[in-house]
Chains A and B, each alone.
Chain A
Amino acid sequence: MGYFAAALLSLLGAEALMAAGYGYPADGLRDPGTLVVVHLAAIGWLSLLMCGALFQFVPVLVNRPLAGAGLTLPALLSIVVGLVSLLSGFLAIDGLLETAAPFLPIGGFLLCLGFAMAAVAIGLTLARSRPLPLPAAYVAVGLAGLLAAASLGLVFTQVLGGTLSTPALMGIAARGVPVHATAGLGGWLTMCAAGVSYRLFPMFLLSPDPQGNGTRLAFMLSAGAATVAVGGGMAALLAGWTVPGVLLVAGLAAAGAAALYGRDVVNFYRGRRRRELELNMQIAVLAFASLGLAVVLAAPLAALAGGERGIAASIYLVAFGWLSGLGLAKLYKIVPFMTWLECYGPVLGRTPTPRVQDLVSEAAARPWFLLYFASVWAGTAALAFASAASFRVAAFGTLAATAAIIVHLVRARMLSDVAASQRFPEGALRPSLLYSIAPGGR
């Protein structure tokens, strides 16, 4: 839960900065202000969320306990301190923070260390479970993307911070940003989100596990796209080839993979044996729609709005519509379930307990999820049309919606929506907001 709490706070922070007009589009795409917002969202929110979710669900994917569970807390501390340091470094470049402390190199180092610890825990668990089921194979590719993004980030921070000045590394720092971003958003976050959804969605929808050539092809295409983008991108950086060309090839493979993945997702919903959809699965539809929109609109956006605006709009839609939207929807499932299992697990079958769905109030939460997606789509349009004022309004919408969703998550965690009379049957455990005693549950 500590991971989820830190992640949600980061999301609020990033949205507040956007609503305040800090960073792109008021500043340039590569200005320090934009870098603060982007890294707060990508590392603080999405990566911590993904790490926390993987610590919970990789054991479910491969049916064995997490290896190196002792690493999860040091990894969290290292990532959080590293992120604060990295952001301080960006603020110092921006002139908002006057300091001589080498925040950037320290931040880059701590982030690399923290993510390496997380990757070791997850990677070891996977390595002991070979051959890997398909969802776990996605996660394995995602981990490779994480390590690539983190190592490139480390190089950038050392070069920008002045601790390294080898010409080859400086060349990488100058041209490597697209590879860094693709490895992080595409390799790490999207691959892991797809992998986890391949297992969770059949579970939540009671639909058959996907199999067949299309599903395998989706994996091969997406793994191929990640390999081309990250491996090819790195090679291009070292050999001086054109980086955008390599990324274009990867992008085409990724679009094919997204189409096949979309087909599997549609089949999950069509083949479900549970007719009524829970709110988290209804909302997930909007997240998938965002991914689809981002894939379909990428080319027209780039053509109509020009390279930079098109890229900004597409990335915003992927990060906030697809990854964040899916993340918030799944948190709305995961937090109540983990809380229910933790508090009522010991007395299940011995005394009447509330149901998982008694922990949430879907009717009250629904409008906020809808507001969230409406704001994200409005924000995407504002970016495409380069309207900084409308973007701030839209960002304020996501901020308000996120805050309300967090209130609902905290209420679920504290069992506030459970009728007081049945909240704590004899023997039930009281939840603590941040620390979960469930196995691997921090």
Chain B
Amino acid sequence: MTEYLELDVRPILAAGGEPFGRIMEAVAALGPGEGLRLLAPFRPVPLFGALGARGFTHQDREIGGGDWEVLFTPTAGPAVSTTEAANDRWPIPLMHLDNRGLMPPEPMVKVLGAAEAMQRGEVMEALLDREPTFLFPQLAQRGHEWRGGFDPDGAAYRLLVRIGTGS
């Protein structure tokens, strides 16, 4: 039976705060096999992908008043080998793109377009069919950093881009 640590981010948001850091701290502090019970004033969709990338499945339900409860449950192993996402200096991705099944160079265009809308230091996660060889020079030219790798089952290439200074 999974033990859940409870984190209520509603007060943080009500005070105009930014809960992402607290959530990631809480996740980092979880023991093996422990899960997270998150209480939020909206359905925190971006977290599903971010914590999914770190090996958590989620169950969400509305608990009234527009508030949501989400149970993040650890799976047996991490969902990706690219534990890059867990690197402490990279914030969790704010932007999620699923570019699988798009005809090249459409995935590249979408990543670069999304990057323009983001702030320095923010991170985007993109799912791709292949390693984006032609994208890397474009990212480098614009001063962005990236990390990426195939998921263990080889079904998707997971790319993380940290927005840089721009050029």
Contacts and interface: CB of A to CB of B under 8 A. Distances in A.
A349 B105 contact: no
Interface in A296-354: 337, 340-341, 345-346, 348-350, 353
Contact of A348 (B108, B129, B131): B108
Interface in B112-144: 112-116, 129-131, 133-134, 137-138, 141
Question: When A and B form their complex, which 4 residue pairs have the shortest distance between CB atoms, in order from nearest?
Answer: A349-B112, A349-B113, A348-B112, A349-B116
A348 B138 contact: yes
Contacts of A340: 105
Nearest to A348: B112
Interface residues of A, number: 19
Contact of B114 (A63, A346, A349): A349
Nearest to A438: B137
B101 interface: yes
A63 B112 CA distance: 20
A341 B105 CA distance: 9
Interface in A48-63: 59-60, 63
Contacts of B129: 206
Contacts of B111: 349
A429 to B, nearest CB: 12
A66 B104 CA distance: 22
B103 A348 contact: no
Interface residues of B, number: 20
Contact of B116 (A59, A206, A346, A350): A350
A134 interface: no
Contact of A206 (B101, B108, B114): B101
A63 B134 contact: no
Given A346-B141, A348-B112, A273 B134 contact: no
**Which of B101, B114, B134 gathers the greatest number of chain A CB atoms within 10 Å?**
B134
A63 B134 CA distance: 10
Nearest to B110: A349
Contacts of A59: 133
Nearest to B101: A273
Contacts of B138: 345-346, 348
B105 A337 contact: yes
A202 to B, nearest CB: 8
Nearest to A338: B134
Interface string A62-100: 010000000000000000000000000000000000000
B153 to A, nearest CB: 12
A349 B138 CA distance: 11
B12 interface: no
A22 to B, nearest CB: 42
Interface of A: 59-60, 63, 203-204, 206, 273-274, 337, 340-341, 345-346, 348-350, 353, 356, 439
B26 interface: no
Interface of B: 101, 103-105, 108-109, 111-116, 129-131, 133-134, 137-138, 141
Contacts of B130: 203
Contacts of A341: 105, 134
Contacts of A439: 137
A289 to B, nearest CB: 25
Nearest to B116: A349
A63 B103 contact: no
Contacts of A337: 105
A350 B115 CA distance: 9
Nearest to A273: B101
A348 B109 contact: yes
Nearest to A337: B105
Nearest to A61: B133
B137 A349 contact: no
A332 to B, nearest CB: 16
Nearest to A211: B154
15 contacts: A60-B133, A63-B133, A206-B103, A206-B129, A337-B105, A341-B105, A341-B134, A345-B137, A346-B138, A346-B141, A348-B109, A349-B109, A349-B112, A353-B109, A439-B137
A272 B108 CA distance: 20
**Which of A206, A337, A345, A348 gathers the greatest number of chain B CB atoms within 10 Å?**
A348
Nearest to A199: B130
**Which of B101, B104, B114 gathers the greatest number of chain A CB atoms within 10 Å?**
B104
Given A60-B133, A206-B129, A341-B105, 13 more contacts: A63-B133, A203-B130, A206-B101, A206-B103, A341-B134, A345-B137, A346-B141, A348-B109, A348-B138, A349-B109, A349-B113, A350-B116, A356-B105
B95 to A, nearest CB: 13
Contacts of A273: 101
Contact of B103 (A274, A346, A353): A274
A63 B116 contact: no
A337 B114 CA distance: 21
A349 B109 CA distance: 6
A261 B52 CA distance: 39
Contacts of A204: 104
Contacts of B131: 63
Contacts of A345: 137-138, 141
A85 to B, nearest CB: 37
A348 B167 CA distance: 13
Contacts of A353: 109
A159 to B, nearest CB: 45
Nearest to A65: B137
Nearest to A278: B103
B141 A203 contact: no
A422 to B, nearest CB: 14
A356 B115 CA distance: 21
